[in-house]
Amino acid sequence: MEPMAGGWMSAAHSMGTTILAVEYDEGVILGADSRTTTGVYVANRASDKITQLTDNVYICRSGSAADTQVVSDYVRYFLNQHTIQLGKEATVKTAANLVKELAYQNKSFLQAGMIVAGWDKYDGGSVYGIPLGGTLLRLPFSSGGSGSSYLYGFLDQAWRPNMSKDEAERFVVKSIALAIARDGASGGVVRTVTVNAHGVERNFFAGDKLPLFHEEISPGRNPLLA
């Protein structure tokens, strides 16, 4: 047992993850699972992967927990200075470009895939994907993390423009639940953040309340112990 124990105990904290952000008719909704792993060991089953950058901009983080946390901290500091100097809130585009610059300039050292999304008076709700390597893409929806590879077909089929808030939230929660069902590195609960002209709303969906899919066992009494 010694070699196996040493392996996962020395592994970096990784958010083998499912993250997703989508534009809807009044703003954006960001969503993420909550499982953080150290090798094959679940280090945290209830982590929060949606981090606030400003009052109106949030970031979804996947990859190395340490890398994405330090990028978020730097960008939050830069945006605070930007707001003080200009006397107004930074735009979503400004926040996304700062994340992109840090990710691109340090692409050889970082393991970080991120999504920046929020609302501002110039562009309304907007979503920017910044995958590994530091590319910046403005998209109507963006997904990331190990669970996202299970979702591409579903996202293409189920997404549609100008969804209502309730439709967009159901879309985000169902997408992440699908990824949790198939991806061993995604799990726990689903957290969502809604950002629009009226402010920010956080929601929480417990793991036993998520929809179940093909071949999943319903939570409850173990039939083997009956």
Nearest Cα to Cα of residue 127 among 199, 173, 193: 193
Residue with token string 């189920």: 158
167 phi/psi in degrees, rounded to 5: -65, -45
Does 17 participate in catalysis according to the annotation? yes
Q: Name the catalytic one among 17, 37, 54, 94.
A: 17
What DSSP element (H or E) covers 82?
helix 65-86
CB neighbours of residue 147 within 10 Å: 29
Residue with token string 């501002």: 120
- What is the spatial distance between Cα 69 and Cα 226, in angstroms, rounded to a whole number? 45
- Residues whose CB falls within 8 Å of the CB of residue 5, separated by 6 or more in sequence, listed in order: none
- What is the spatial distance between Cα 169 and Cα 29, in angstroms, rounded to a whole number? 7
Q: Is 17 exposed, middle or buried (0-12, 13-18, 19+ CB in 10 A)?
A: buried
Positions marked catalytic: 17
